[in-house]
């Protein structure tokens, strides 16, 4: 913006100079025709008017600097104001001393008038030049008063000298003869001073464009004015009037320069600073009170609103909701997809709620709806179901169609809490428990607080579990349906708490994933499973394979492949004896996971996709992934109740795996009918309670032959049917 203004000023000044050149040309070419144009009887009035304008111009400059330096104390501005105070006084003295002027303070004299004029010209040249070369620095009110006071004293001292009857100074103009040599020398000295000033200011243009250009323009006008004053024939010559006009133009240019530096520039700077400050305030307010991703009001905004509005006995409702897949999507696909999903979810919520209720977003990717009026629980439940329905449609982001379950928790004021922080917390507690009920919608109950407390206690105990050897592995054998042999198993981690007893993996695995403990837990499971598998191979004297589940946190470690190599080396297990199981959701970011899986395959181990059919894998990408096995989730197998049942999803998975040359493991086999159905469909492996429940390593070693024999008999019986 500043550069644009500078260019504009340069164009304006250039235009003024061009107009001045045209005026000069007009005066020079038509000087005879313009001689005495105002009339001899009017000349004194015209001259008086133009001199008054010059006096007003110089006094305005002095007054402007006197007033503004009170608030902006810089020595250059103070000196310039004092200088023009002197010039203003001398200009007035010149005006009242000039021959023919209607003043009777003293008898007019060329001696006095010329000395006032000449001293003014010298001050304009060398006074301004001296000020310009002075280093600009902060000053004081006292220095300001001294500068202006000194200016007045010296000026009046000079006036007294000029008005002395015996003429203490040489005469500059001889009546009937013309100017003296001294006058000519001083005149050309003043002109030379203006030229030096122009050259100096020209070097300063880049530092202060407008100020420098205006002072240069003023110097040019002063030079033009002096040329006209030197060359005019008599007082009626148009050149005399033109000289006064250019003198006035010079003072106007200087006034504009002073006005710009003391008023306009500070005002514009302050105005721009205020605009930037206002913009910064808006940005800071946006950052402080709105979410960057969804642009919804954030948690701070919500708490402040709740603090202002929750009072009295009227029931108010807070609804907290989140997608249960957001964390998995972020860890597998990256933050871009999770953020886009949140943004689209915010738009859907806004379309349903509109401006009826307050919508907000918490820092942990949860949405909040605040209802500041009484609503029946049935009406609130209906609203929540409407939100679940609108959120059930897939979120199409690039080539992925992402879905997730919307868990919703609800808390009431003042029934559940009378503080905003607790109201949010209790609604969150209800939401965390909502995934355990089919509707995924829960109203807060005081018992939930105890559950959360126990969860925190469990997380604290989990930190000690590894140190105290409270974790152990159980193994579930896998039966080869083609040979009837048990030659592989799945490792399953278990926790035996010293005081709380056996704790379900469904309870502590999510805590381990959220807290980051899954990383050391995962390595311990890998090392223990590989070591015990090696021992089992020695006991049974035959190859045996173990499958180990991986978490998202493990797989996406930067050095995960190196960790696998270290485990294989430390336990001395064959890579072919280890199978790693990943969940279907981990395969979504194929660009990231494919190189990792290829590196793992190069080691020699195999890769299986666990619980296949429950996630979001794209079949078009599945064929390109370096995997070896699909594990059919137990929820599909359990739908088979007799040999005549037909389960399309199981058929499809087995058929697809056969076409992709992948082996298939069916989980959760509990009945002979399920086993028979899978055998007819040419499933490769099965595991489940029909063969064996998960058992400790020692029990597996002890009962292996018994389990193997029973399994063979079941397969043999099926083959005989």
pLDDT tens, residue by residue, 624-661: 789 999 998 888 888 787 666 667 888 888 988 888 89
Torsion over CA: 655, 661, 662, 664 (sign) = positive
Using CA atoms, how far apart are residues 116 and 591, in angstroms rounded to an integer?
88
Q: Which pLDDT score, from 0 to 100, does residue 5 have?
A: 47
Residue 151 has pLDDT above 90, yes or no: yes
| pLDDT above 90 for 667 | yes
Interatomic CA distance for residues 127 and 130, integer angstroms: 5
Compute CA distances 573 → 530, 548, 609, 698, whole Å.
6, 14, 22, 19
Average pLDDT over residues 308-335: 84
pLDDT above 70 for 555? yes
Residue range 577-592, pLDDT digits in tens:
999 999 877 777 677 7
By the 8 A CB rule, do 244 and 50 touch? yes
pLDDT bin (cut points 50, 70, 90) of residue 396 is confident
State residue 643's pLDDT score: 64
Nearest residue to 209 via CA among 430, 11, 493: 11
Any bridge partners for residue 360, and if so which?
368
Distance CA 469, CA 496 (A): 9
* 431, burial (CB in 10 Å: exposed 0-12, middle 13-18, buried 19+): buried
> Are the C-beta atoms of residues 488 and 577 closer than 8 Å to each other?
no
The sign of the torsion formed by the CA atoms of 99, 103, 104, 105 equals negative
C-beta of residue 367 within 8 angstroms of C-beta of residue 320: yes
Angle formed at CA 671 by CA 666 and CA 677, multiple of 5 degrees:
55
Tell whether the model's pLDDT for residue 70 goes beyond 60: yes
Whether the per-residue pLDDT at 675 is higher than 80: the answer is: yes
Per-residue confidence at 128, pLDDT binned at 50, 70, 90?
A: very high
- DSSP-based three-state secondary structure for 547: strand
| Count of other CB atoms within 10 angstroms of residue 163 | 16
User: Which of the pair, 131 or 276, is modelled with greater confidence?
Assistant: 131
Calpha distance 610→615 (Å, rounded): 10
Mean pLDDT over 524-545 rounds to 94
Average pLDDT (511-521) is 84
In 30-72, which residue ranges form alpha helices assigned H by DSSP? 43-68
**pLDDT above 80 for 14:** no
For position 631, what pLDDT does the model report?
92
The end-to-end CA distance of the chain, in Å, is: 91
Per-residue tokens: 93:
């003295």
What number of helices (H) and strands (E) belong to the chain?
26, 19
Helix runs in 42-140, H state only: 43-68, 75-97, 110-122, 128-133
Q: Give the highest mean pLDDT range of 73-77, 260-264, 527-531, 675-679.
A: 527-531
Question: What ranges in 260-369 are assigned the alpha helix state H?
Answer: 265-289, 299-309, 326-333, 335-353
Q: Are 73 and 139 in contact (CB under 8 A)?
A: yes
How would you label 441-462 residue by residue, b for 16+ Cβ within 10 Å and e otherwise? bbbbeeebeeeeeebeebeebb
**What is the mean predicted confidence (pLDDT) over 99-115?**
64
Q: d(Cα 133, Cα 226) in Å, to the nearest integer?
A: 24
Rounded-to-integer distance, Cα 242 and Cα 240, Å: 5
**Cα-atom radius of gyration of the chain, to the nearest Å?**
48
Residues recorded for the chain: 721
Nearest CA to 686 out of 714, 658, 709, 660 is that of: 714
CB contact burial 695-715 (16+ within 10 A = b; e otherwise): bebeebeeebeebbeebeebb
What is the reported pLDDT for 155?
A: 93
Where do runs of H (alpha helix) occur along 334-413?
335-353, 377-392
What is the spatial distance between Cα 608 and Cα 84, in angstroms, rounded to a whole number?
92
As a whole number, the mean pLDDT across the chain is 86
Report the pLDDT averaged over residues 62-68: 91
pLDDT in tens, 457-506: 888 888 888 888 899 999 999 999 988 999 999 999 999 988 888 888 88
What is residue 486's predicted lDDT score, i.e. its pLDDT?
A: 94
pLDDT score for 100: 53
- Position 413 confidence tier, pLDDT thresholds 50, 70, 90: very high
Kindly state the tokens that stand for 631.
Answer: 């594990």
Highest-confidence segment of 105-119, 274-288, 398-412: 398-412
pLDDT of residue 104: 44
How far is it, in rounded angstroms, from Cα 555 to Cα 98? 99
331, two tokens: 């860890």
Question: 12 falls in which pLDDT band (50, 70, 90)?
Answer: confident
Handedness of CA 239, 245, 248, 250 (dihedral sign): negative
Assessment of whether the complete model's pTM goes beyond 0.75: no
Percent of the chain with pLDDT over 70: 93
User: Beta partners for 486?
Assistant: 479
**Average pLDDT in the 53-78 region?**
90
Predicted pLDDT at 105: 46
* Residue 180, pLDDT above cutoff 90: no
423 burial via Cβ count (<10 Å: 0-12, 13-18, 19+): buried
> What pLDDT was estimated at residue 490?
96
What's the pLDDT at 492?
95
Neighbours of 499 (CB within 10 A): 5
At 1 the pLDDT is 43
What band does 7 get if pLDDT is binned at 50, 70 and 90?
low
pLDDT at 487: 93
Phi-psi domain of 60 (left: phi exceeds 0; alpha: psi -120 through 50; beta: other): alpha
Beta pairing partners, 579: 547, 606
Higher-scoring residue by pLDDT: 154, 29: 154
């Amino acid at each position: 913006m500043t550069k644009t203004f500078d260019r504009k000023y340069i164009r304006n000044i250039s235009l003024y100079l061009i107009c001045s050149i045209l005026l000069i040309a007009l005066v020079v070419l038509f000087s005879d025709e313009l001689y005495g144009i105002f009339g001899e009887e009017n000349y004194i009035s015209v001259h008086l008017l133009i001199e008054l304008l010059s006096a007003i111009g110089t006094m305005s400059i002095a007054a402007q600097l006197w007033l503004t330096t009170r608030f902006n104390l810089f020595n250059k501005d103070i000196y310039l104001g004092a200088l023009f105070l002197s010039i203003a006084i001398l200009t007035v003295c010149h005006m009242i001393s000039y021959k023919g002027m209607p003043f009777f303070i003293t008898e007019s004299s060329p001696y006095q008038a010329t000395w006032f004029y000449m001293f003014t010209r010298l001050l304009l040249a060398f006074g301004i030049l001296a000020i310009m070369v002075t280093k600009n620095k902060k000053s004081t009110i006292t220095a300001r008063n001294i500068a202006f006071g000194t200016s007045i004293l010296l000026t009046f001292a000079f006036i007294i000298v000029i008005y002395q009857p015996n003429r203490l100074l040489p005469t500059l103009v001889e009546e009937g003869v013309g100017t003296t040599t001294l006058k000519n020398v001083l005149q050309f000295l003043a002109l030379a001073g203006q030229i030096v000033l122009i050259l100096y200011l020209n070097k300063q243009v880049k530092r202060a464009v407008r100020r420098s250009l205006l002072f240069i323009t003023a110097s040019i006008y002063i030079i033009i004015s002096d040329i006209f004053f030197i060359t005019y024939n008599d007082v009626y010559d148009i050149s005399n009037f033109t000289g006064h006009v250019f003198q006035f133009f010079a003072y106007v240019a200087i006034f504009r320069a002073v006005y710009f530096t003391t008023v306009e520039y500070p005002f514009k700077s302050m105005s721009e600073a205020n605009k930037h400050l206002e913009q910064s305030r808006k940005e800071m307010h946006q950052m402080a009170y709105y979410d960057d991703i969804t642009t919804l009001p954030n948690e701070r905004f919500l708490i402040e609103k709740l603090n202002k509005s929750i009072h009295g006995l009227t029931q108010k409702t807070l609804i907290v909701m989140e997608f249960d897949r957001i964390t998995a999507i972020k860890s597998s696909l990256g933050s871009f997809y999770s953020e886009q999903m949140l943004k689209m979810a915010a738009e859907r919520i806004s379309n349903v709620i509109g401006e009826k209720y307050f919508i907000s977003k918490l820092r942990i990717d949860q949405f909040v709806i605040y209802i500041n009026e009484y609503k029946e629980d049935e009406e609130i439940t209906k609203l929540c179901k409407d939100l679940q329905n609108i959120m059930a449609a897939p979120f199409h982001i690039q080539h992925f169609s992402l879905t997730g379950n919307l868990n919703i928790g609800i808390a009431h004021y003042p029934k559940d809490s009378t503080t905003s922080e607790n109201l949010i917390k209790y609604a969150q507690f209800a939401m965390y428990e909502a995934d355990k009920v089919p509707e995924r919608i829960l109203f807060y109950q005081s018992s939930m607080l105890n559950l959360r407390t126990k969860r925190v206690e469990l997380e604290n105990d989990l930190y000690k579990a590894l140190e105290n050897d409270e974790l152990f592995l159980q193994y579930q054998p896998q039966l080869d349906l083609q040979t009837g042999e048990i030659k592989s198993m799945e490792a399953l981690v278990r926790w035996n708490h010293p005081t709380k007893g056996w704790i379900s993996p469904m309870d502590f695995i999510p805590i381990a994933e959220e807290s980051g403990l899954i990383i050391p837990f995962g390595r311990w499971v890998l090392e223990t499973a590989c070591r015990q598998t090696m021992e089992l191979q020695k006991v049974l004297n035959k190859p045996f394979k173990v499958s180990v589940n991986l978490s998202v946190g493990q797989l996406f470690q930067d050095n995960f492949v190196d960790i696998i190599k270290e485990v294989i080396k430390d336990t001395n297990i064959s890579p072919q004896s280890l199978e790693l199981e990943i969940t279907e959701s981990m395969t979504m970011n194929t660009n990231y996971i494919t190189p990792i899986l290829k590196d793992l395959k190069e080691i020699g181990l195999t890769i299986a996709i666990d619980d296949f059919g429950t996630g979001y894998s794209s079949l078009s990408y599945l064929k390109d992934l370096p995997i070896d096995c699909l594990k059919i989730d137990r929820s599909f197998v359990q739908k088979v109740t007799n040999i005549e049942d037909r389960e399309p999803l199981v058929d499809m998975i087995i058929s697809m795996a056969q076409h992709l040359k992948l082996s298939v493991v069916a989980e959760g086999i509990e009945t002979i009918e399920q086993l028979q159905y899978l055998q007819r469909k040419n499933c490769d492996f099965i595991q489940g309670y029909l063969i064996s429940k998960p058992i400790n390593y020692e029990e597996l070693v002890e009962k292996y032959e018994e389990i193997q024999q029973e399994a063979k008999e079941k397969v043999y019986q099926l083959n005989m049917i």
